Chains A and B, each alone.
Chain A
Amino acid sequence: MEKRELTCIGCPMGCTVTVEMNGGQIVNVTGNTCKIGDTYARKEVTNPTRIVTSTVIVEGAPMTRLPVKTAADVPKSDIFRVMDVINHTRAKAPVRIGDVIIENVADTGVDVIATRNIA
């Protein structure tokens, strides 16, 4: 039996939620005050994901950096691989919000898209 402690991000309360696991199976979730904590903890221990936001170099614009984000969540463990690809990417103006800058970044199946309009 292993235990993992998490802070729930569902509300400012920030409950410390304990998840008991047995061979990858969730046995018990305790410490949460409401349902949100339970759902959050179960997802967080089995498949934690995050949106990654950063910038890429942009050419042909008065500014040198274009803000971007992953169009959907990527596995938490892939964040630095995603960042590595982002760091080695250049975009070219003009760019519109939502334009795909990197397809299927780091084989996550998720695109990296622009989050700012640059004429």
Chain B
Amino acid sequence: MKDYEIVIVGGGPAGLAAALSAKEAGCDSVVILERDSVLGGILNQCIHNGFGLHTFKEELTGPEYAARYIDRVLEAGIDYKTDTMVMDIAPDKTVTAMNRTDGMFTIHAKAVVLAMGCRERPRGALNIPGYRPAGIYSAGTAQRLVNIEGFMPGREVVILGSGDIGLIMARRMTFEGAHVQCVAELMPYSGGLKRNIVQCLNDYDIPLLLSHTVVDIDGKDRVRGVTIAEVDEKNKPIPGTEVCYPCDTLLLSTGLIPENELSREAGVEMHPVTGGPTVNESFETSLEGVFACGNVLHVHDLVDYVSEEAVRAGAHAAAYCLGNVRASRKEDTITVRATGGARYTVPSTVQCDRLGDLLTIRFRVGAVYKDAYVSVYLGDERVTHLKKRVIAPGEMEQVILKKEQLTAHEGLKEITVTIENE
């Protein structure tokens, strides 16, 4: 097998954008390894519109958004291998992969970009009691069955979790002739976009039951019904509030988990909150020359941000290969800390001299805040105090700092991102 300087693991939105950017930054030896039979990743099954407003200033469907990047990858002559599973990434950046035609092969890369995306939280992880019949699908699996394979996973449907995929599938199943009885959401607010609640649920009179969860699943063979109960402020079901919904299908849209088995085995340090690698300002993980972007790093709400992040990760990977990066020095490292409602930040650390002009810090909050402030402290000094009408867990937030702000602060050790009431 030919060796490449940069191996991109995953050919979804993150991998495609990273590959293009690495090539544009001057690295000609890039390969994308994709486990599915086509490039584009999960976007191929996201046939609804609403992608690309930031990037292309128009509303695209998932496959259209993917195609714009796929076309550019093909034009740029970037190598890729589909139906190819990466089996192992060694700390020395030897990537072992496998497919039908090449068998098992290794690539000795100089840099690796992790772009494996995420997976859905399964029923088992939610500890929903009851039977374990057929007809319990994660929303994304149902989406694949309907949109790609062309099969109906159910007729009478209840959805647990109001993540965007669940909302989108409520409308999609309705379009295909199924009846969606309700969407139950454990939290007192939805994790999905407002627009999806209106256009996927309200448009079709599908009730959204906030502070509700599934407490029992009936049916030995196929789902026969589920029981939904209201929950108290500790998310515990309230006895006496149970309602049975006869149905044949339960779809779950209860969260996404970055898929980091390869990263972990490679020895990449993980962030306890995001489930993705901890990265520095260059999207570089704790392993030098291993970069991460997209949903494998932290779960995004908009694909536009995935692409944007991947562009930077790809450029940094190229710079690393071309030897244009000063090795990281521990003593220069600034820690980025999330506190007071902010759950995490990406990046986790910053080395000032490696920064471009700007530092974008992305984060999410743990609850809904109204009329609150996003504040950033450099050491003890508050440099950002931005009033927001609403900040919600479902939406990724960002603050942008100028490099001068950081360099002006001599001996800066810590940047803090926090939510303040005043």
Contacts and interface: CB of A to CB of B under 8 A. Distances in A.
A14 B47 contact: no
A109 to B, nearest CB: 19
B47 A115 contact: yes
A12 B61 contact: no
Interface residues of B, number: 32
Contact of B49 (A53, A83, A87, A116): A53
B333 to A, nearest CB: 34
Contact of A51 (B59, B67, B147): B59
A63 interface: yes
Interface in B165-180: 172, 175-176
Interface of B: 44, 47-49, 59-61, 63-64, 67, 146-150, 172, 175-176, 193-195, 197-199, 202-203, 389-392, 394-395
A76 to B, nearest CB: 7
A76 B203 contact: yes
Contact of A65 (B64, B149, B390): B149
A72 B61 CA distance: 13
A1 interface: no
A50 B203 contact: yes
Contact of B198 (A7, A54, A63, A117): A7
Contacts of B149: 64-65
List the 4 shortest-distance A-B pairs measured between CB atoms, nearest first.
A67-B47, A116-B63, A9-B195, A14-B194
Nearest to B47: A67
A68 to B, nearest CB: 8
Contact of B147 (A67, A76, A97): A67
Contacts, number: 77
Contact of B390 (A7, A11, A63, A69): A11
Interface in A29-71: 33, 50-55, 57, 63-65, 67, 69
Nearest to B190: A14
Given A9-B199, A33-B389, A115-B47, A65 B147 contact: yes
A102 B38 CA distance: 26
A83 B194 CA distance: 24
B194 A53 contact: no
B415 to A, nearest CB: 25
Nearest to B193: A12
Given A53-B48, A64-B149, A87-B176, 7 more contacts: A9-B195, A11-B194, A12-B193, A12-B392, A50-B203, A63-B148, A97-B67
A57 B148 CA distance: 10
Chain A interface residue bracket vs B = 20 to 34
Nearest to B50: A51
A97 B66 CA distance: 11
A91 B367 CA distance: 46
Contacts of B49: 51, 53, 69
A116 B67 contact: yes
Contacts of B64: 97, 115-116
Contacts of B202: 7
Given A50-B199, A55-B150, A67 B63 contact: yes
A3 to B, nearest CB: 16
A33 to B, nearest CB: 7
Contacts of A55: 47, 146-147, 150
Contact of B150 (A6, A52, A65): A65
A118 B175 CA distance: 23
Interface string A14-31: 100000000000000000
A96 to B, nearest CB: 9
A11 to B, nearest CB: 7
A83 B389 contact: no
26 contacts: A7-B197, A7-B198, A9-B195, A9-B199, A12-B194, A12-B395, A14-B197, A50-B203, A52-B175, A54-B175, A55-B47, A55-B147, A55-B150, A63-B148, A64-B150, A65-B148, A67-B63, A83-B175, A97-B64, A97-B67, A115-B60, A115-B63, A115-B64, A116-B44, A116-B64, A117-B67
Contacts of B203: 50, 76, 79
A7 B194 contact: yes
A33 B67 CA distance: 38
Nearest to A63: B148
Contacts of A11: 194, 389-390
Residue of A11, A12, A14 ringed by the most chain B CB atoms within 10 A: A12
Contacts of B198: 6-7, 9
Contacts of B199: 9, 50
Nearest to B49: A51
A58 B129 CA distance: 41
Contacts of A13: 194, 389-390
